Amino acid sequence: MKYISEVLSSQLISHDLAFNAVSAAFIAASDQAKLFPVVIAEGHPENTIFSLKSANTAELVGWKAGSYWPGNTTKNIPCHASTIFLLDQDTGRLDAVIEGSAVNAYRTAAADAVAVSVLAREDASCVAIFGTGHQAFYECVSVCRVRDIHSVLVVGRNHNKAQAMVEKLAGVGIDAQVSVAEEACRAADIIITATTAREALFSAEWVKAGTHISAMGVDTKGKQELPPSLFDEADLYCDFTSQSVVIGEFQHGNKEVVTNKLTMIGEVLSGYAQGRVNNTDITIFDSSGIAVQDLFVGKHLLNAALDAGHAIEC
């Protein structure tokens, strides 16, 4: 069996690796991958949650176990933890275990960047980020790699946390400032939501023509970041249709209407469907997070470990 520790996976992961792996995963999801219903459970401590996301392709089979322990903030450790499990396709026996808590941040942000690369306007230069946590930072960094972003407007419930995000972004060369929701939305070419919200974060009328929106935070029933009235006028995209309308952002829309409008991002990447048509369209990408992303990222990490000469057999 192969094993990659959290320390090693953190050394091997990069935005490029994650982007390439997730792009391939999205194409597989729209083509020949099979995804299974997500299992969501609770830990004993209040407000803790963990989930199992599983899938298979012709080459890969396995699952990702993820957890969210909000109390970890008091311990100065990330609230999210993730581990990828790959099975041997021929025997069903465990082939690899990859600890990937840091990896998961890159993987999720890569989904955003992949969507932005084909759905946002080429001249997009201003990002509004809703969220001030661990993941929101990675979203900004990843998106700034695929568009020439001149400014990031940070919107958060806590001003001190928003200011801390501004300073953290400045530390990696990204110009940012604290903003309020309406001001940020009206200025933004790209809106990113990376929160645990359970109601819309902004009003539909604040979104200007030509804006791209990446909804990254909704992955269970009851969560919500966007106003459903936006769905009627926007072009809708997602990572996986049947999951998006059940536990993703589009659970809040009219299921029949949304499903008829919804395009999987992998179909755009493979050329079977259109992405952005003109500079006035509003596009929405819902990322509920799919297991194929984790399988492909895990495989890329195993290859990177072998190429670097790391001993991963145990």
Nearest residue to 66 via CA among 101, 34, 94: 101
Instruction: Collapse the DSSP code of 83 into the 3-class scheme (helix H, G, I; strand E, B; otherwise coil) and give the result.
Output: strand
Q: Are the CB atoms for 195 and 131 separated by under 8 Å?
A: yes
**Cα dihedral sign for 103, 217, 178, 48?**
negative
Instruction: Catalogue the active-site residues.
Output: 64
Q: Are the CB atoms for 15 and 110 separated by under 8 Å?
A: yes
What is the C-alpha separation between 165 and 155, in angstroms, rounded?
A: 10
The bridge status of strand 283-286 relative to strand 212-215 is: parallel
Nearest residue to 68 via CA among 106, 88, 42, 96: 42
